[in-house]
Amino acid sequence: MPDNETLQNSSPVQIASMTTILRRPDIARDLLDRAKSAEKNWAIPASSIAEATEAEVTSMREVDRVNAQVLRRIVSLHGWPGRSLVGTEAAQAALAIALHADHDPPFQRTLLRMLYAAVQLGEATPAQWAHLYDRWLIHDQRVQVYGTQYRYRSAGLEPHPITDPEHLDRRRASVGLPPYEEQAYAARQHHTRQPEPHRPVPHQ
């Protein structure tokens, strides 16, 4: 529940296209704006980053650091920014920012625990938690579980190592993720911007 100060300072508004009244539309707008602004950096292949100047790389990393600081302030006051606080789209933006807080592993781990708690309350989705869990695992030098994280190699985009790949789609289904091949196709399309000749049949 929001505290008294939050209630007094908030002016909930009905957001078009959403069916819920957000408790903090101001936070929602900030998260959405920050994620949208940073997206152009997140979409840059590692090969291109390797060719960037030191100043350009520093600028990209600074954006992620500042966004993480903003998210830190938000969660210190409200916990994970879930659906009722900021809405579905802004909650997804918060996840994107959390995924790029790799420079601060302890904070990313804290966010993972907060996100898990939010899932239990219906404020976040198991799929969102799975993405952040995989991210934390690979940066802890462990093997990812749900196959959500990728890296660039000379041959192109490939997943980080995945545990027990034979049962991957079963695990993905348990957290609401589509079959792996569908996600892999979408990831390649997003990062290469080039159409592939054969698209997997969408999961029904």
Mean pLDDT over each residue of the chain, to the nearest integer: 82
pLDDT of residue 12: 37
* Residue numbers of the chain with a pLDDT score lower than 50: 1-19, 47, 50, 193-204
Q: Half-sphere exposure of 106 toward its Cβ, with a 13 Å CA cutoff? A: 0
How many other C-beta atoms can be found within 10 angstroms of the C-beta atom of residue 204?
3
Q: To 10 degrees, the CA torsion angle through 184, 176, 98, 110?
A: -130
pLDDT at residue number 156: 75
Radius of gyration of the chain (CA): 18
Residue 58: predicted pLDDT = 73
The pLDDT of residue 200 is: 41
